[in-house]
Amino acid sequence: MKHLLLICLAGLLTNGVRAEGQESALYKDAGQPVEKRVEDLLSKMTLDEKVFQLNQYTLGWNHNVNNIAEEVKKIPAEIGSLIYFESDPTLRNEVQRKAVEESRLGIPILFGYDVIHGFRTVYPISLAQACSWNPELVKQACAVAARESRLAGVDWTFSPMVDVARDGRWGRISEGYGEDPYTNAVFGVASIQGYQGDDLSNPNHIAACLKHFVGYGASEAGRDYVYTEISPQTLWDTYMLPYEEGIKAGAATVMSCFNDISGTPGTANRYILTDILKNRWQHDGFVVSDWGAIEQLRPQGVAADRKEAALKAFTAGVEMDMMNQCYDRHLAELVNEGKISTDQVDDAVRRVLRLKFRLGLFENPYTPVTTEQERFLLPASIQVAEKLAEESIVLLKNDNQVLPLSKTAKIAVIGPMAKEKDHLLGSWANHGKAEHVVSIYDGLEKTFRNQAQLIYAQGTGFEEADKSGFAEAKAAAEKADIILLCLGEKKGWSGENASRSTIALPPIQEELVRELSQTGKPIVLILSSGRPLELNRLEPLSAAILQIWQPGVAGGNPIAGILSGDINPSGKLSVTFPYSTGQIPIYYNHRQSARPNQGLYQDIPSTPLYEFAHGLSYTTFEYSDIKLSSTQIKSGGKVTAEVTVTNSGNMDGAETVHWFVSTPVSTISRPVKELKHFEKQFLKKGETYTYRFEIDPLKDLGFINGNGDRFLENGTYYIKVKDQQVAIKVD
Helix (H, G, I), strand (E, B) or coil at 388: helix
Q: Which residues of 424-455 are buried (b: 16+ CB within 10 A; e: fewer)?
A: bbbbbbbbbbeebbbbbbbbbeebbeeebebb
Nearer to ligand GLC by C-beta: 288 or 388? 288
DSSP result, 207-276:
B-EEEEETTGGG-GGG-SS-EE---HHHIIIIISHHHHHHHHTT-SEEEE-SSEETTEEGGG-HIIIIII
Q: Which backbone phi and psi does 487 adopt, to 5 degrees?
A: -125, 175
Could you tell me the smallest distance in angstroms from the CB atom of residue 96 to ligand GLC?
20
Could you tell me the smallest distance in angstroms from the CB atom of residue 209 to ligand GLC?
7
**Over 434-476, what HEC string results?**
HHHCCCHHHHHHHHHCCCCEEEEECCCCCCCCCCCCHHHHHHH
Q: Which helix (H) or strand (E) holds 306?
A: helix 306-316
Cα–Cα distance between 233 and 708 in angstroms, integer?
A: 8
Could you tell me the smallest distance in angstroms from the CB atom of residue 158 to ligand GLC?
3
Nearer to ligand GLC by C-beta: 257 or 412? 257
Catalytic residue among 167, 180, 290, 700: 290
Cα–Cα distance between 244 and 235 in angstroms, integer?
A: 12
Cα–Cα distance between 554 and 565 in angstroms, integer?
A: 18
Could you tell me the smallest distance in angstroms from the CB atom of residue 694 to ligand GLC?
36
Q: What is the dihedral of CA 644, 587, 167, 161, to 10 degrees?
A: -40
Helix ranges restricted to H, 107-235: 126-131, 135-152, 181-196, 232-234
Cα–Cα distance between 134 and 35 in angstroms, integer?
A: 37
Helix (H, G, I), strand (E, B) or coil at 140: helix
Helix (H, G, I), strand (E, B) or coil at 512: helix
Could you tell me the smallest distance in angstroms from the CB atom of residue 58 to ligand GLC?
9
Nearer to ligand GLC by C-beta: 208 or 455? 208
Which chain residues interact with ligand GLC by CB under 6 A? 64, 66-67, 114, 158, 211, 290-291, 496
Nearer to ligand GLC by C-beta: 156 or 717? 156
Contact (CB, 8 A) for 164 and 216: no
Nearer to ligand GLC by C-beta: 64 or 647? 64
Could you tell me the smallest distance in angstroms from the CB atom of residue 111 to ligand GLC?
13
Contact (CB, 8 A) for 614 and 653: no
Helix (H, G, I), strand (E, B) or coil at 659: strand
Could you tell me the smallest distance in angstroms from the CB atom of residue 67 to ligand GLC?
5
Q: Is 290 a catalytic residue?
A: yes
Residues in contact with 723: Cβ distance below 8 Å, sequence separation at least 6, in sequence order: none
> 701: which DSSP letter?
I
Nearer to ligand GLC by C-beta: 420 or 496? 496
Residues marked active site are found at: 290
